[in-house]
Amino acid sequence: MLLFRRLPWEFAVRNLFRRPLRSALTFAGLATVIVLVFVSLGFIRGLEKSLARSGDPRVAIVFSLGMGDNLEYSSIPMRTADLLPASLDGIQRRFGKKYSSPELYLAAVLSVGDRVEPSTGLMRGVTPAALLVRRQVQITEGQWPGPGEVMVGRLAAAKLNVAQEEVAVGQTIRLEDRTWRISGRFAADGSAFDSEIWCRLDDLQQAMKRQDLSVVAVTLRPDANFAEVDLFCKERLDLELQMIRETDYYARLQDDYGPVRWLAWLVTLLVAAAGVFAGLNTMYGAVVGRVRELATLQTIGFSRRAILVSLAQESVILAMAASLFAAAVALVAVNGMAVRFTMGAFELRIDSVAMLIGLSVGFLLGLIGSIPPAIRVLRMPVVDGLNAV
């Protein structure tokens, strides 16, 4: 029946090009909103992935009792580095070498190159055994640091708020009135270690005038039990130690940063809501300017439902085109962008989940933005619509 006949699909497409300026402005507005949505999603996904990749399910971290999750404030006796591997049978071995890494980890104020203004970096004093325990870490350039040298992670420049060239191999940093040469660079598969600066344990102890450790990290065999490490910590009351699985530690950080993630989701919702209201305003203008056209379509036999579907098609096509453009911009300009954070630095990630959510938001913006103004105009009597100016 004519009453239920739908308008041709190409009718909605042609209408977009009949008003090129209005369509272009709407396209730009929607694309801007959806890019902002992608930025918020990239922040959430990047933070979650950085923390998820940082933990090793076979690594146990032994640190100071009562420190909670603040490893940088932990202080344990230096002799723990010898007592722990000597007392445990479940530690992974290779060629007689136990996977045990004594480390001094702290936030330090340092200067990069000739810069006068200081930067805050994350320093980790380690021994070569760290490469056995921290399996994510791979040296990508240069070599392991010698005396008076450091090795920087690939995101250390973002944490220090300097250019990558300033932390290249051969450049220098100043810490505690000492000049350290950068001997190499490393990557850690997107984990929290990527934003750190590593140096020899004894060098950092001398520079900071400390003879203690922050943590001892050990890798257990697949058949070993973490309870053995926990029992050692509880028996040695004189050392005041506690143990946590590395995966559990970063899971706690996930929980600690929960409010930050919720805030990012709130920003995403607010940006999307702003986009909906902007779309409503734009569509109101677009639909109100076509009152006579819509009334004429009803006169020649098209139902209001058919006209509503056509208007929704027109809006969704424009919104999805803007969403695809915004997704391309996000992949090129946002994905992989390094940002500073309290835990160090991490990269914004536009992955499949972020892409799905971002494109869904764009679809909803187009759909929701078209229905209210269309309903308002279509409720107008046909005679009044034909007489509208």
Which carries the bigger pLDDT value, residue 369 or residue 46?
Answer: 46
Which carries the bigger pLDDT value, residue 248 or residue 273?
Answer: 248
Residues in the chain: 389
pLDDT, one tens digit per residue, over 271-291 is 777 777 766 666 666 666 666
Contact present, 81 and 217 (Cβ < 8 Å): no
Mean pLDDT over each residue of the chain, to the nearest integer: 85
Identify the band that residue 251 occupies on the pLDDT scale cut at 50, 70 and 90. confident
E strand or H helix at 94: strand 93-94
C-alpha to C-alpha distance for 289 and 277, rounded to whole angstroms: 18
What average pLDDT score do residues 83-87 get?
Answer: 91
Between helix 20-54 and helix 9-18 the angle, nearest 10°, is: 100
Least confident of 99-103, 171-175, 295-299: 295-299
What pLDDT score does 368 carry?
A: 80
C-alpha to C-alpha distance for 1 and 305, rounded to whole angstroms: 14
Give 370's contacts (C-beta < 8 A, 6+ positions apart).
279, 283, 311, 312, 314, 315, 316
Q: Phi, psi (5° rounding) for residue 21?
A: -65, -45
What pLDDT score does 291 carry?
A: 67
pLDDT, one tens digit per residue, over 114-152 is 887 888 889 999 999 999 999 999 999 999 999 999 999
What average pLDDT score do residues 206-222 get?
Answer: 93
pLDDT, one tens digit per residue, over 217-247 is 999 999 889 999 999 999 998 889 999 999 9
Residue 80 pLDDT greater than 80, yes or no: yes
What average pLDDT score do residues 297-321 get?
Answer: 77
What pLDDT score does 2 carry?
A: 42
Closest CA to 85 of 203, 206, 209, 224: 224
Helix ranges (H only) for 143-290 are 156-160, 201-208, 226-235, 246-256, 258-288
Residue 57 pLDDT greater than 80, yes or no: yes
What pLDDT score does 116 carry?
A: 75
Count CB-CB contacts under 10 A for residue 33: 25
